[in-house]
Amino acid sequence: MSSWGHDSHNISFAVLCLITCFCLYCFKMIKPPITKFKRKNPMSNFGNFINYGGFLLPFLPMVEIDGMKLGHAKPILQYIAGKHNLYGKNLKERVLIDQYVEGTTDLMEVTMYIPFLLSEDREKQIEAMKKKSKNIYFPIYEQVLRDHGQPFLLGDQFSWADVQLIEAILMAEEITSDILSDFPLLQAFKDRIREMPTIKAFLQPGSKRKPLPDDKYVALVKGMFQMYLKPAFNLK
């Protein structure tokens, strides 16, 4: 159990980085590249980082790990999961993990934009998130756990898919606390994963887990990335 906790802590950081777009500064084992920027224009600084940071692909998140500079969430997460034996034992297990991860990523993308929407659009986006959670993804994961009767999505093997699912659940609960009321196996799954030592520590106040975005943070991110988001309504 302790080894699961150690590896899952690393992947939890990766998932958080995907959500916050500040991946460089969240991994305890990753050293951000040292680059000097002018302070006048945050967006200009970000552009300089992309142009001169030495990254092959100019996509967020970006990390420097094991002598490599990686851009884009999926290859970063795949590399870390593989490094820590959380990416299955064979090709069939990896493709299952990929499917589970794609589902939770889809759900997380609906959830993560909520704080950045205009106030009149937030409630509609929250309803869209609820529908997608309760009508599509949570029933699937509940059924997977019911079918094999094992503690994790891959059976008795803890994987990247479990870490991303627990993060998707926690994100949804921050918006709607009773989101798992109709899913007892997912509730038990959440309680079980939360008790892993390093995940438990990671979820405690004062850890590196990012809080919900406040107005100041939202304004900073929108200004830095010149962000304009449209709500994803009519999700069934």
User: Which H or E run contains 192?
Assistant: helix 184-194
Task: State pLDDT tens for residues 82-102.
Answer: 998 999 999 999 999 999 999
Q: What is the mean pLDDT of residues 210-218?
A: 84
Percent of the chain whose pLDDT exceeds 90? 39
- The reported pLDDT for the residue numbered 232 is 53
Most confident option among 14-18, 112-116, 138-142: 138-142
> Exposed, middle or buried, 39 (CB in 10 Å: 0-12/13-18/19+)?
exposed
What is residue 217's predicted lDDT score, i.e. its pLDDT? 85
Instruction: For residue 69, name the pLDDT band (cuts at 50, 70, 90).
Output: confident
- In whole angstroms, what is the distance from residue 162 CA to residue 148 CA? 15
| Per-residue confidence (pLDDT) for residue 48, from 0 to 100 | 56
Q: What does the pLDDT read at residue 162?
A: 96
In order of their start, the domains of the chain are 89-195 (1.20.1050.10)
- DSSP structure class, residue 31: P
Spatial contact of 132 and 235, defined as CB atoms under 8 Å apart: yes
CA distance 19 to 211: 11
Instruction: Report whether pLDDT(24) > 50.
Output: no
DSSP for residue 155: B
pLDDT tens-digit map of 157-186: 999 999 999 999 999 999 999 999 999 999
Question: Would you say 71 and 57 are in contact if contact means Cβ atoms under 8 Å apart?
Answer: yes
Kindly indicate the confidence band of residue 4, based on its pLDDT and cuts at 50, 70 and 90: very low
